[in-house]
Structure 1
């Protein structure tokens, strides 16, 4: 028997370590080639580690929540044959993968072989708790399953797992190059499988949940932001009746363009106003004592996902028109929700906008996305009666659509006057929306 040492590979430029957020094996388990080992998180991006060999796991690096340095052993696998081997990059040769995909596409999936429990093996590293089982559906009939899944590109390990879960691979959308991987099965289960639901009146016991992965990073970032940044917030009411009417007209004549929400219009207003207030489109390095004011607007867009809050970034938002912004917002939001956003799409923002969407709220006091110096929060649109000019020196009462805009700023580098002046300039644009389309 041989010993195969799988070292954590370099999974991103400048990344020195990664956190274990889920184990898919434990000491004593048998793992197949291309089988899942663990999920590792680096700076809001979760990367799936797969085994390049088949064998039995005899050592693991630690427990969920532990941090592993790049190049350090992640698992040790006992394999057939003699000698020791080490790897740090689990990528098969392109030609071999292409041949495997062709064979799998043209060959029906074999019936699963009976499994035997592996003999217990002494571990030299702590044994992590097994990952919680994924929710499953009732299996489809074997004949129909094999027929519909036969021409789908997937590794044997993925096919075996899909059979165990009763998933028809033809119903799973692949995330890359048309090949279904374990992460695609996870996504399918998250959105389609029946979960463990409790009725509203059911009694629940206490739960102890470790703060790890995305939730730990959110907690650390928010705590650092409130600890280091003296926040102040400013809220102003804006009449968006005309803006909403223009949005409806644009959508009615959009053709094959994406449907406009309010967000592209607001981002356009922010981008047009920021050149007058460069102190808001900035990042503050408080250790070096340097504020960098950016010419381009890289707009962060706070998005709620199943894994927690993420901030995908719209690059050079000032250069995009309304339709381009709408398309980019939709693309980034979907990538964040599905877990396919690239690390570079989740970093480098210079100003962030955050909105609770349909949940709304009369006013918010958002927490700054450090090291930025400001964050803007549009709130819910409400309809209220207002006094408006009748054009003849008098006033009349009309039903108007009103929305509050909140802004939180870093008082070390942004003065209250500047923040209020910025919001007032934005208000003028959105209350006279034709200005958004003027050159």
Structure 2
């Protein structure tokens, strides 16, 4: 038997050290060639480290969250054959993700829930699991909305997705199992708890934290909120989906928002810009590359719809859908997750009333979309029901004046409230 030592590979771009994000194996595991052993993170990418050999793991070179130098011992594997030690420093790392962009973060630390003893629940259906009272379970906005509609407390649901993420299937299983627990005592739900749990801030969560802190320390953030009547644009969207949805695909509100950004930016070029605060240079761009903040298992990613100024509604819709799927599945390339000139962020049905999104440096503006609600409004002296939505947007006050920001958002408002103007050249 021999030992094959895998060293931290040189991932390129002059990187001298990387962070060990997660192990996919442990000591004693049998591994096969090309099996992923660990994920490591650079400042620019998440990278898979595969095994170049078959064998048994006999030693791990570091702990998750540890910063390791290129060339240091990553893992030792016992292999068949003569000889003592063979070394490998280039196990063909595979880039998985591009850097997280500095946008509003809605994710939580990806820690697996700890299973509780036998479930005891009465009014709550399904088996309970042990979570801290203030611990926010991992779940997508759609799952959270589904749980809210069903009246389920997510902290009581066991997640079977990556890192303990709660899936739609987990909600169904929770409801299905709840029937057998209907007669259990209620006391367990109100029991006092004194346990604590420390969650290391590592991997993508560390990168997100660093980018958020950097953005808020460097840029002079200010936010502006405007109320928009989206009744007309929603009627147009419904009409277009009914007429062309089967052949061209369904439209969400996002393509209309992208189009409104493109048209409004023609009169506000100072907002479609990047600011290099070290060189003290503002670069205004003719191309509109719109970042679309997208929730993924690993954290908030921002795939980029390039040259939105040259895209139709359906072209934008198809590209948004493609990029969002790629980001959520970890398939988006580095180029697809970088280079935006302005960012659009939305929490969909969970969008709330007002938000204060964080700038995606070096951009100088981010437009946040809140949820659509029906409200009584007074129009020409009559009370009518209208679909209303807030835009909560943030700007870098070092570059964008308050008056320009307000006029820019009001221009978007005018375009969406009179959607025909989106297409008048």
Shared fold per TM-score greater than 0.5: yes
2:390 pairs with one of 404, 419, 425: 404
Contact 1:35 1:51 in 2 (8 A): yes
Contact 1:61 1:73 in 2 (8 A): yes
Deviation at 1:89, TM superposition (A): 3.3
Partners of 2:72 and 2:212 lie apart in 1 by: 30
Secondary structure of the structure 2 residue equivalent to 1:425: helix
Secondary structure of the structure 2 residue equivalent to 1:201: helix
Q: Cα RMSD (Å) of the superposition?
A: 3.2
Secondary structure of the structure 1 residue equivalent to 2:385: strand
Q: Are residues 246 and 13 of structure 1, via their aligned partners in 2, closer, same or farther at CA, if it must alter by over 3 Å?
A: farther
Q: Are residues 132 and 2 of structure 1, via their aligned partners in 2, closer, same or farther at CA, if it must alter by over 3 Å?
A: farther
Partner of 1:292: 283
1:259 equivalent to 2:250? Answer: yes
Query: What does residue range 110-125 of structure 1 map to in structure 2 within 5 Å?
Result: none
Segment drifting more, 308-317 vs 25-34: 25-34
After superposition, what is the alpha-carbon deviation per residue over 1:315-358, rounded to whole angstroms, capped at 9, x for unaligned? 11222111111111111111222222222222221111111110
Partners of 1:133 and 1:388 lie apart in 2 by: 51
After superposition, what is the alpha-carbon deviation per residue over 1:33-83, rounded to whole angstroms, capped at 9, x for unaligned? 233311223347433222111234344331100123444432233432225
1:363 equivalent to 2:358? Answer: no
Partner of 2:335: 344
1:435 equivalent to 2:425? Answer: no
Partner of 1:214: 204
Q: Which runs of 5+ in 1 are unaligned?
A: 93-130, 136-184, 390-394
Q: Which runs of 5+ in 2 are unaligned?
A: 94-110, 116-159, 179-187
Partners of 2:21 and 2:92 lie apart in 1 by: 21
Query: What does residue range 14-29 of structure 1 map to in structure 2 within 5 Å?
Result: 15-27=15-27, 29=29
Deviation at 1:223, TM superposition (A): 1.1
Partners of 2:401 and 2:251 lie apart in 1 by: 33
Contact 2:162 2:297 in 1 (8 A): no
TM-score by length of 2: 0.73
1:201 equivalent to 2:183? Answer: no
Secondary structure of the structure 2 residue equivalent to 1:369: coil
Secondary structure of the structure 1 residue equivalent to 2:247: coil
Q: Are residues 44 and 308 of structure 1, via their aligned partners in 2, closer, same or farther at CA, if it must alter by over 3 Å?
A: farther
Partners of 1:397 and 1:186 lie apart in 2 by: 47
Contact 2:259 2:313 in 1 (8 A): yes
Partner of 1:224: 214
- Structure number with greater Rg is 1
Contact 1:44 1:217 in 2 (8 A): no
Contact 1:235 1:407 in 2 (8 A): yes
Partners of 2:418 and 2:168 lie apart in 1 by: 44
Partner of 1:35: 35
1:378 pairs with one of 369, 372, 396: 369
1:89 equivalent to 2:90? Answer: yes
Larger relative contact order, structure 1 or 2 (CA cutoff 8 Å, min sep 6): 2
TM-score by length of 1: 0.71
Q: Are residues 304 and 91 of structure 1, via their aligned partners in 2, closer, same or farther at CA, if it must alter by over 3 Å?
A: closer
Q: Are residues 257 and 268 of structure 1, via their aligned partners in 2, closer, same or farther at CA, if it must alter by over 3 Å?
A: same
Deviation at 1:230, TM superposition (A): 1.5
Partner of 1:123: none
Partners of 1:133 and 1:35 lie apart in 2 by: 26
Deviation at 1:193, TM superposition (A): 8.0
1:421 pairs with one of 404, 407, 425: 407
Q: Are residues 399 and 133 of structure 1, via their aligned partners in 2, closer, same or farther at CA, if it must alter by over 3 Å?
A: closer
Partner of 2:100: none
Query: What does residue range 276-287 of structure 1 map to in structure 2 within 5 Å?
Result: 276-287=267-278
Deviation at 1:361, TM superposition (A): 1.5
